[in-house]
Amino acid sequence: MKGYVYYSEQEALRNRLFIDDLIKEATQAAIDLKLLIGQERPNRNADFILFRDRNPELAIAFEQEGFRLFNRAEVNHIANDKLKAFQLATLLGVPAVPSKSIREVHGIDTYPCILKTVDGHGGQEVVLCSSEAQASAFFKQFHNKHIIVQPYIESGACDVRVFMIGEEVVGAVKRTGKDSFKSNYTLGGSIEKYPLASRQLQDVQTIARALKSDYIGIDFILLPDGEWLFNEIEDPVGARSLYTTHDFSVARKLIRYVKERLS
């Protein structure tokens, strides 16, 4: 069996340890896995591509060439559009942070609020606004982007990221922000293993099943009363917090999943 793991040039540098782990685990599973970067083209005889980029257009192009992608292009498309992800969660009956597309500052009903570009990630292109002046500055900075507004929900800067391989939960991490409403681990937040309640397990499996996803992260804002609200989907999802809080190889589980699906 032959395959590729695809990254952009910049992300390949940032994710070298995970790439090495994937290639090592693939070798042990009798899979010839090679790294594909940037503008490089895959060999036609490859059985699959582990697609690790935020680029739905490229994912579609690979699928049109006949490659089996993990994740599918449609998963990448929905995960990298926060409004579409919100609409999906709402359609599925999963409680979610209310999200609305706006074209101008006057579309904001109340302050404080959260403004985001639909395709930002890693805590970037998101801001807490307490006034129209702050909102105007965000619109000016991202004038060429699709922007959504969300109400500010007090959560103690806590959220939960659930890591899914297929419909299986492989781990969940509670993230708490440091000196910010953002809880991202890469921005200095703290992390700890998080056990899911049965209702929470049902929520994430509902989303993964509807998406027909292979490997994603699903983020929820954690409320003070222990309830949660869907916030966004991550594809590709980084596994640093999962490796830190759990004692297994995510790469091994993912490679085994790929082999099972293709066998």
Neighbouring C-alpha atoms within 13 Å toward the C-beta of 37? 10
Mean pLDDT of 178-183: 58
Could you tell me which CATH number the domain at 100-151 has? 3.30.1490.20
Give the right CATH number for 155-247 from 3.40.190.10, 3.10.105.10, 3.30.470.20, 3.40.50.720. Answer: 3.30.470.20
The answer to which of 24-33, 182-191, 213-222 has the lowest mean pLDDT is: 182-191
% of the chain exceeding 90 in pLDDT: 90
pTM to 2 decimal places: 0.93
The residues of the chain that CATH labels 3.40.50.20 are 2-77
Lowest mean pLDDT among 90-94, 180-184, 213-217: 180-184
pLDDT of the residue at 198? 96
- Within the chain, all domains assigned CATH 3.30.470.20 are found at 155-247
CATH number belonging to domain 2-77:
3.40.50.20
> Rounded mean pLDDT of 212-217?
98
- Please say if the pLDDT value at position 243 is more than 70: yes
Residue 178 has pLDDT above 90, yes or no: no
Q: Report the pLDDT value the prediction gives residue 122, as an integer from 0 to 100.
A: 81
